[in-house]
Amino acid sequence: MSVRQPERVETERLVLRRPRPDDAEAIFARYASDPEVTRYLSFPRHASLENTRAFLALSDADWSRWPAGPYLIERRDGGELIGSTGLSFETEQRAATGYLLAREAWGRGYATEALRAMVDVARSAGVLRLHALCHSDHAPSVRVLEKAGFECEGTLRRYVVFPNLSPDEPLDVLCYARVLG
Ligand SMILES: CC(C)(COP(=O)(O)OP(=O)(O)OC[C@H]1O[C@@H](n2cnc3c(N)ncnc32)[C@H](O)[C@@H]1OP(=O)(O)O)[C@@H](O)C(=O)NCCC(=O)NCCS
């Protein structure tokens, strides 16, 4: 049975919370329009605030339909927006996750801290399998997944289009997963 999850979660150094309509400008400016941040992501870099507002509409649709959805990542100390993570439910018991941070927040263990929190949220929601797909060249992300206890199940060949890297053809990706129950 799936269980509704809190819209705000605190970790040692972070606040994870459901996005709000008035977050659009900060999301766009701090990371969604940054080519470095979006290189290995599966959505096109935001070219305008319209793209960011479309993300916020999808977020609300996810939160309406499922026990949780996207979360924004803020520093507890200072409160500024530094990134995004979340759960994308495929069924009540299977979800995907991901994470991204503004460049100034890289290299401090924040992604690992956020991912561990998503594992806890997923488990509380009744998810049995949580997975994440990652470009095989993306060493920092592979490391984050391994630190959070995800295991590589193999390569999904020609599986994901990375619109900011290779928009015309799907590339191979590593499939990482954690079984939660
Ligand atoms: C990938 C990303 C989320 C990592 O966030 P982060 O907060 O810097 O990650 P962490 O600090 O928790 O851990 C990064 C780990 O990768 C390691 N690392 C960093 N660069 C590396 C490299 N080039 N090769 C190997 N390991 C590397 C770090 O040393 C660290 O491991 P350690 O704790 O054992 O030292 C961040 O760089 C980001 O947001 N990138 C853009 C968005 C993105 O690509 N998201 C993932 C899509 S799959």
Looking at ligand 1, which atom is closest to the CA of residue 102?
A: 39
Quote the pLDDT of residue 117.
98
> How far, in Å, is the centroid of ligand 1 from the Cα of 111?
7
Quote the pLDDT of residue 70.
98
As a whole number of angstroms, the distance between CA 93 and CA 18 comes to 21
Looking at residues 1-20, what average pLDDT do you find? 96
Label the pairing between strands 8-10 and 14-17: antiparallel
Q: Hey, whose CA ends up nearest to atom 48 of ligand 1? A: 134
Mutate to test the pocket of ligand 1, among 82, 99, 113 (most ligand atoms within 8 A of CB): 99
As a whole number of angstroms, the distance between CA 95 and CA 69 comes to 10
Q: What is the mean pLDDT of the chain?
A: 97
Looking at ligand 1, which atom is closest to the CA of residue 140?
A: 16
**Residues in contact with ligand 1 (CB, 6 Å cut-off):** 37, 40-41, 98-101, 106-112, 134, 138-141, 143-144
pTM surpassing 0.95? yes
pLDDT digits (tens, 9 = 90+) for 78-126: 999 999 999 999 999 999 999 999 999 999 999 999 999 999 999 999 9
As a whole number of angstroms, the distance between CA 115 and CA 117 comes to 5
As a whole number of angstroms, the distance between CA 122 and CA 97 comes to 9
